[in-house]
């Protein structure tokens, strides 16, 4: 691609979301000699990227964007122009779970990917490297190759798989200092040349031994495998948390003890109300579908259990709240602290808070919700949305308008908890560790309950104040 070394390399990224925005900002930061354009069909997203109010919250992101924007980083809705000018095109569009038709409830919906590929085929006038940045089913590159080569007009396309392993909340750190960068490509000379070209981009800041190259299918599958393994760890420890509660063991002690085993390691062993986010469930469902399509039902069933335990954990939490509060929360105010799916992000996609809130509303609770990074509109939208049941792919009824009226979103944790009967902590925001719980207790109904879905509060201190405390996987109140 880069025959002429004096020419500035141009990168275009299709999709300016949680992945496209931060990854391209870091490439622009580390490669001043490369011009990076991030394009999207969403005018509001691009407008936000070009403003002081970036469309996503991520620690450190604003500084990077401000440093590069207008220098070698551009956000634009002119998708065609930037595709046609680029040498390397990253595709980072959303790949949600299909909600209807063949594979509904499991398969990845590649509509956005296909339309991006068709757009590339339509407007390209020079050779391109097309990089799968989105998480896609294994073998997607083959489909993309067909779409591109069918209308190639003599242009050569090389498809690479370069899945993104960043975690929301630590995206910039993860991008600046990745555990590894994975690049999959064809074993042909053209494929190997393309891998080299992409390696050269990352080599601006990533040590050589952290850049791994594989065949296309290994790279595509590795992303699904990584997310499945991470989610599986969470479901394993959550399954253990239920057994801890039944036996008097303490899940934090168990996690600490097993995490010291170097074969297991200490990370991702925190029990919680369940995993969320736009990726874990979607990618495991995708994996399950691929297993089923390849005639491997036993393997599919193994991964299904990871999601089933996650659903079980969310239900278990709701049931614990209701049962503890004398078997009914009807008419009782419950404060929800945290709605984002994890700390340091404003992302609410698939957050366990949705299911917990819906469960409590189903028992007619009145909710007062506080999250430092999530707006009221976003929360109302998430709670009123139809839930898609992956195991039985039919749409459930939307929440009735009266239930949604039982939801009040406030901008202050003390306001949220005033006159409440109970508090549910659903996101591990640092600020929830240092709230003035005495003040909160004084202003609550009695008995006052705390249900800690993230195991972040000091249980003894809260019990001394007078709270009745439930923490996942911990011995129950004496």
Residue 265 marked in a binding site = no
Look up residue 273 and give its two tokens. Answer: 């109300």
Look up residue 155 and give its two tokens. Answer: 């242009």
Taking the least distance from each CB to ligand NAD, the nearer of 112 and 217 is: 112
Residue 91 marked in a binding site = no
Taking the least distance from each CB to ligand NAD, the nearer of 1 and 116 is: 116
Q: Which residue has tokens 């992000």?
A: 345
Residue 134 marked in a binding site = yes
DSSP string, 57-80: --TTHHHHHHHHBTTTEEEES-HH
Residue 402 marked in a binding site = no
Answer yes or no: are the C-beta atoms of 251 and 271 closer than 8 Å. yes
Residue 362 marked in a binding site = no
Look up residue 413 and give its two tokens. Answer: 């944790």
Helix 216-247 × helix 251-259 angle, to 10°: 140
Q: Residue 421 Cβ, how far from ligand NAD at the closest point, in Å? A: 35
Cis peptide before 447 (omega within 30 of 0): yes
Answer yes or no: are the C-beta atoms of 333 and 369 closer than 8 Å. no
Catalytic one of 12, 68, 279, 291: 279
How far is 194 from 163, CA to CA, in rounded Å? Answer: 15
Taking the least distance from each CB to ligand NAD, the nearer of 47 and 438 is: 47
Q: 279 an active-site residue? A: yes
Point out which residues bind ligand NAD (CB under 6 A).
Answer: 14-20, 39-42, 45, 79, 92-95, 112, 115-116, 134-135, 164, 166, 168, 278-279
Residue 97 marked in a binding site = yes
Taking the least distance from each CB to ligand NAD, the nearer of 163 and 422 is: 163
Q: Which residue has tokens 């009145």?
A: 366
Residue 312 marked in a binding site = no
Taking the least distance from each CB to ligand NAD, the nearer of 95 and 427 is: 95
- Give all strands (DSSP E) within 113-242, no chain letters: 128-132, 157-161, 181-185, 211-215
How far is 460 from 399, CA to CA, in rounded Å? Answer: 38
Residue 370 marked in a binding site = no
Q: Please report, for the chain, how many H helices and E strands are present, in that order.
A: 18, 14
Between the alpha carbon of residue 162 and those of residues 61, 120, 375, 457, the distances in Å are 21, 18, 33, 39
How far is 400 from 88, CA to CA, in rounded Å? Answer: 48
Residue nearest to ligand NAD (CB): 17
Taking the least distance from each CB to ligand NAD, the nearer of 75 and 467 is: 75
Contacts of 23 (CB under 8 A, 6+ apart): 13, 90, 92, 133, 164, 166, 175
Q: Residue 55 Cβ, how far from ligand NAD at the closest point, in Å? A: 8
Q: Which residue has tokens 């083959």?
A: 142
How far is 262 from 266, CA to CA, in rounded Å? Answer: 8
Active site residues: 279
Residue positions forming the annotated binding site: 15-20, 40, 45, 93-97, 134-135, 168, 279-282, 349
Residue positions forming the annotated binding site for NAD(+): 15-20, 40, 45, 93-97, 134-135, 168, 279-282, 349
């Amino acid at each position: 691609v880069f025959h002429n070394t004096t020419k500035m390399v141009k990168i275009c990224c299709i999709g300016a979301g949680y992945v496209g925005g931060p990854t391209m900002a870091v490439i622009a930061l580390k490669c001043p000699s490369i011009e990076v354009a991030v394009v999207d069909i969403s005018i509001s997203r691009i407008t936000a990227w070009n403003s002081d109010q970036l469309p996503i919250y991520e620690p450190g992101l604003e500084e990077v964007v401000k440093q590069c924007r207008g220098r070698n980083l551009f956000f634009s809705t002119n998708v065609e122009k930037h595709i046609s000018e680029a040498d390397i095109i990253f595709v980072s569009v959303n790949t949600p779970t299909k909600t209807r038709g063949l594979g509904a409830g499991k398969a990845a919906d590649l509509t956005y990917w296909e339309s991006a590929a068709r757009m590339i085929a339509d407007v390209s006038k020079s050779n391109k490297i097309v990089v799968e940045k989105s998480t896609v089913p294994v073998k997607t590159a083959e489909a993309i190759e067909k779409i591109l080569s069918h209308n190639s007009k003599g242009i050569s396309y090389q498809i690479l798989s370069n899945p993104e392993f960043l975690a929301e909340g630590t995206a910039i750190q993860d991008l600046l200092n990745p555990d590894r960068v994975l690049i999959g490509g064809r074993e042909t000379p053209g494929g190997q040349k393309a891998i080299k070209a992409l390696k050269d981009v990352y080599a601006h800041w990533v040590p050589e031994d952290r850049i791994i190259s594989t065949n296309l299918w290994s790279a595509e599958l590795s992303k699904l495998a990584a997310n499945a393994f991470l989610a599986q760890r969470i479901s394993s420890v959550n399954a253990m948390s239920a057994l801890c509660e039944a036996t008097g063991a303490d899940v934090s002690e168990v996690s600490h003890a097993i995490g010291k085993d170097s074969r297991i390691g200490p990370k991702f062993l925190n029990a919680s109300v369940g995993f969320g986010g736009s990726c874990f469930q979607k990618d495991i469902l995708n994996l399950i579908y691929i297993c089923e399509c390849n005639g491997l039902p036993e393997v599919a069933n193994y991964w299904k259990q990871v999601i089933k335990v996650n659903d079980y954990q969310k239900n278990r939490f709701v049931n614990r709240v209701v049962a503890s509060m004398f078997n009914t929360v009807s008419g009782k105010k419950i404060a929800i602290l945290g709605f984002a799916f994890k700390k340091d992000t404003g992302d609410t996609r698939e957050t366990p808070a949705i299911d917990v809130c819906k469960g409590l509303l189903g028992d007619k609770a009145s909710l007062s919700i506080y999250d430092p990074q999530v707006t009221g509109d976003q929360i109302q939208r998430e709670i009123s949305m139809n839930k898609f049941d992956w195991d039985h792919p039919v749409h459930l009824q939307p929440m009735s308008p009266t239930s949604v009226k039982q939801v009040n979103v406030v901008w202050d944790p003390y306001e949220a908890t005033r006159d409440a009967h109970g508090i549910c902590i659903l996101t591990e925001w640092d600020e929830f560790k240092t709230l003035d719980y005495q003040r909160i207790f004084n202003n609550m109904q009695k008995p006052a309950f705390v249900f800690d879905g993230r195991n972040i509060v000091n249980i003894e201190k809260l019990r001394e104040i007078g709270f009745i405390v439930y923490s996942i996987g911990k011995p129950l109140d004496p």
